[in-house]
Copies of this chain bind each other. A is one copy, B any other.
Amino acid sequence: MTDHHDIFAGRESQVRSYCRSFPHVLTTGLGTLVRDTEGEEYIDFLAGAGSLNYGHNDPDMKAALIEYISGNGITQGLDLHTVAKGNFLTAFEELILEPRGMDYRVQFTGPTGTNAVEAALKLARKVTGRSNVIAFTNAFHGGSAGSLAATGNRHHRMGGQGLHSVTRMPYEGYFGNGVDTSEHLAQMLADQSSGVDTPAAIILETLQGEGGLNVASSEWLQRIASIAAEHGALLIIDDIQAGCGRTGTFFSFEDMGVQPDLVVLSKSVSGFGIPMSLLLIRPELDQWLPGEHNGTFRGNGHAFITAEVALRKFWSTAVFEETVRQRAAQLHDGLTEISAMIPGSRVKGRGIMQGLDVLDENVSTAVRQTCIANGLLIEAAGPRDEVIKIMAPLTTDEATLDRGLEILRAAVVEHLEGSRTRELVG
């Protein structure tokens, strides 16, 4: 097997990112483990940035996919009817929508998250005839120049080209616990002279993945929903990263007492890491004309197959949800213990989307480098990458989760001892 490093260095764009801190060349993955060309095995707490909630190469999805390909199933069907799509829709209706008493139309957009966010924003503007959109600090909704306007990260925004018609408001807790930022929004929308135009939509994540694992409470979310309703604005929940079971329920907002007008799903909706995105639309808002929004890869047959298996395997009963909740508790305990070693640090997030805010990006980087050296793939979040973020597959077993947490704990200890030594020596 050739060493591919020359081709990556010489031919791939400078834009590449994850591979700079993890320069190994991966070959295979199974469940929570990945393997490289050197034969080394790594615990994967990155999980395709949330697109591998059921781990690598789930055997049931894999079998169904191989069967489908073997039988010359339609791979790419645009928006034509296919059996694979029909089966997925049926499963989605039976296992997701109906049990939750939800009624949404399903739009298959281009298979990236930003494609689906674009569709949501465009539909909200079409339906309301308004252009302004409320988005929140530290939000991430994608990188196309339209969705980009709704994204917070300055690094991605490059000076704001195209930041048109988005008003930025503080997310819950942005100004500390004492300040109810939903009241800021309420006041500014009620005030005819605030400078904030009545919006087409309010878009938010209930748990900000890239923004640093900031968590919205049910109370705050309900207040935002009622503000949206009061002003005739659509509530769009971007569940790209926090959805598909990541927080312990299929949708991140299930137990929070709100009914969004539009819901964006992507990342783990195919279950297998295959590109797929959905926009869920309250039926009365499904005012698209045929073909008004499109995208070549909106009918990905392979994704329909694995997505259906994922739904039937994990969402037919309550077992999986219960397991995720146990693992989330285990994760929380583990992180809390580690946090106690770092003064000022704190545990953030919920479900299996938690992390450790170590306050200092240098600490975060050093600890993660040690983790990688010791066989744990792990990433960071937050404006300065100051939050060490755990996105283990939801199917990670108790022992593997413990093993990963132990590597993290040891890396923190090593860093702290190194710091102490450096202080003593320095």
A406 in contact (CB, < 8 A): no
- A326 CA / B196 CA spacing, docked (Å): 39
Given B56, B198, B293, which contacts A156 in the complex, CB threshold below 8 Å?
Answer: B293
User: Would B132 and A160 count as touching, CB distance under 8 A?
Assistant: yes
- Does A294 interact with chain B (Cβ within 8 Å)? yes
A76 interface residue per 8 A CB criterion: yes
- Interface stretch, picked from A46-54, A337-345, A411-419, is A46-54
Q: When chains A and B are docked, how far (Å) is the Cα of A8 from the Cα of B300? A: 16
The stretch that binds B, out of A147-155, A216-224, A242-250, A313-321, is A147-155
Contacts of A131 in B (CB 8 A): 159-161
Binds B, one of A10-18, A251-259, A327-335, A351-359: A10-18
CA distance A118 to B149 in the complex (A): 13
Report whether B15 and A290 are in contact in the complex, using a CB–CB cutoff of 8 Å: yes
Q: A57-B69, A197-B163 are in contact. Are A287 and B148 (CB under 8 A)?
A: no
A76 touches B291 (CB 8 A): no
A14 touches B74 (CB 8 A): no
A114 — which chain B residues lie within 8 A by C-beta? 110, 115, 144, 295
Contact status A16-B79, CB under 8 Å: yes
A399 sits at the interface (CB 8 A): no
Bound form: Cα–Cα A264–B2 in Å:
28
Contacts of A155 in B (CB 8 A): 192-193, 289, 291-292
Instruction: For chain A, residues 23 to 80, give those with C-beta under 8 angstroms from any C-beta of chain B.
Output: 23-30, 34, 37, 46, 48-52, 56-57, 62, 65-66, 69-80
Q: A114-B295, A272-B75 are in contact. Are A158 and B122 (CB under 8 A)?
A: yes
* Cβ of A187 under 8 Å from chain B: yes
Could you tell me if B197 and A81 are in contact, using CB atoms closer than 8 angstroms?
Answer: no
Q: Mark A164-178, 1 if CB is under 8 A from B, else 0.
A: 111110100011000
CB nearest to A140 among chain B residues: B193
With contacts A81-B4, A192-B155 taken as known, whether A73 is within 8 angstroms of B143 at the C-beta atoms is no
Query: Chain B residues with Cβ under 8 A from A184's Cβ?
Result: 170, 175
Verify if A279 is at the interface (C-beta below 8 Å from B): yes
Tell yes or no: A382 within 8 A of B by CB: yes
Q: How far is the CB of A6 from chain B (nearest CB, A)?
A: 9
| Minimum distance in angstroms from A145 CB to a CB of chain B | 2
Chain B residues contacting A4 (CB-CB under 8 Å) are 81, 83, 85-87, 89-90
Given A15-B107, A71-B28, A267-B296, verify A196-B175 contact (CB < 8 Å): no
- In the complex, A82 has a CB within 8 A of chain B: yes
A271 CB → nearest B CB, Å? 10
Contact in complex: B275, A89 (CB < 8 Å): no
For A151, what are the chain B residues with a Cβ–Cβ distance below 8 Å?
195
CB contacts (< 8 Å) of A50 on chain B: these are 296
